[in-house]
Amino acid sequence: MASDYELLKTMCAIHAPSGNEVAMKDFLLSYIKKEKKNWKHKPTVYSGKELQDCIVLSFGKPRTAIFAHMDSIGFTVRYGKQLVKIGGPVLKEGINLVGKDSKGAADVKLKIVRDKKTGHDKIEYTYKRDLETGTELTFKPNWREDKTSVQCCYMDNRLGIYNALKVAETLKDGIIVFSCWEEHGGGSVSYIQRYIQETYGVAQALISDITWVTEGVKAGKGVAISMRDSLIPRRSYINKIITIAKKFEVPFQLEVEGSGGSDAKELHMSEYPWDWCFIGAPEDFVHSPDEKVNKFDIETMVQLYKVLMKEL
């Protein structure tokens, strides 16, 4: 799969913070238009103002939907040199950030300043000029790859998108959703799941996203099947997925956490009864410019999704 990582590398460098996923949407629509002739089955592609900046691919007679969010964490320029977080990025002095306003591209550094009045830290940037209010800044991409791992900003969730595109190559029946805003509160999945339910009768999902390396989930030991995070999915659905993974001998790990969330939260709170499971490769250095994922975990993620989309 080594040559395929060029696609992942390209996507990790695309500017698409929550609320401004347009560049990622345009890239994906162009990629799908170019590549779908090579896919085993051709999807119907839905995009446009009804979906805002989201994309939905429908293959054959779908039973299960894959959700992969397009947005990333980052920062918004407030006034002067002030920054406001988008999602939950790591805050570390000197991190390189990039963005663009009407005066041109900017390559700045993150600065943490102690507010003398409040005694609290606040985040700013250092640059030769003030950027325009509302300018978005994201981590500057620095791709690193060796025999066992890939490392860059925004593996979360460009790797989830990558996984969905790999599954699309052979998918016969299913839906793939590329969603928005996941890193900063969500909002798009609620109207998409309703459309999917009412149009196709589909009410079960796999969340193609990236999780954490922890004391119980190790790098290089296989994709993680999450049994719970801040929400608890229906156990019978999780058990079905675990049974399929064992039957087809796909290496996996089980994850149990008490915090965190994903696009699943909108499915969980839906007016319709949806089943869902978060399944993703674990990464080190979460929400930083240095997110690192083992290649074996990527390969088993793709393998498991392909099996599940056939068997569920």
pLDDT tens digits for 190-223?
999 999 999 999 999 999 999 999 999 999 999 9
- One-letter amino acid at 126 equals T
Alpha helices, DSSP H, located in the chain: 5-12, 22-35, 155-168, 188-200, 235-247, 264-268, 295-311
- DSSP class of 208: E
Residue % of the chain over a pLDDT of 70: 99
Q: Give pLDDT tens digits for 97-108.
A: 999 999 999 999
Return the pLDDT at 116. Answer: 83
Q: Give pLDDT tens digits for 28-74.
A: 999 999 999 999 999 999 999 999 999 999 999 999 999 999 999 99
- Cα 304 to Cα 309: distance, rounded to the nearest angstrom: 9
Q: Give pLDDT tens digits for 255-289.
A: 999 998 999 999 999 989 999 999 999 999 999 99
Identify the CA nearest to 89 among candidates 110, 73, 76: 73
Q: Give pLDDT tens digits for 236-254.
A: 999 999 999 999 999 999 9
Q: How is the beta sheet containing 104-114 ordered, strand by strand?
A: 83-86, 74-77, 136-139, 96-101, 104-114, 121-126
- Cα 267 to Cα 263: distance, rounded to the nearest angstrom: 7
Cis peptide before 157 (omega within 30 of 0): yes
Return the pLDDT at 1. Answer: 47
Residue % of the chain over a pLDDT of 90: 96
Q: What is the mean pLDDT of residues 87-105?
A: 97
Q: Give pLDDT tens digits for 168-195.
A: 999 999 999 999 999 999 999 999 999 9
pTM for the whole thing? 0.97
List of domains in the chain: 2-72+143-311 (3.40.630.10), 74-139 (2.40.30.40)
Strand partners, 144: 151
Return the pLDDT at 3. Answer: 52
- One-letter amino acid at 214 equals T
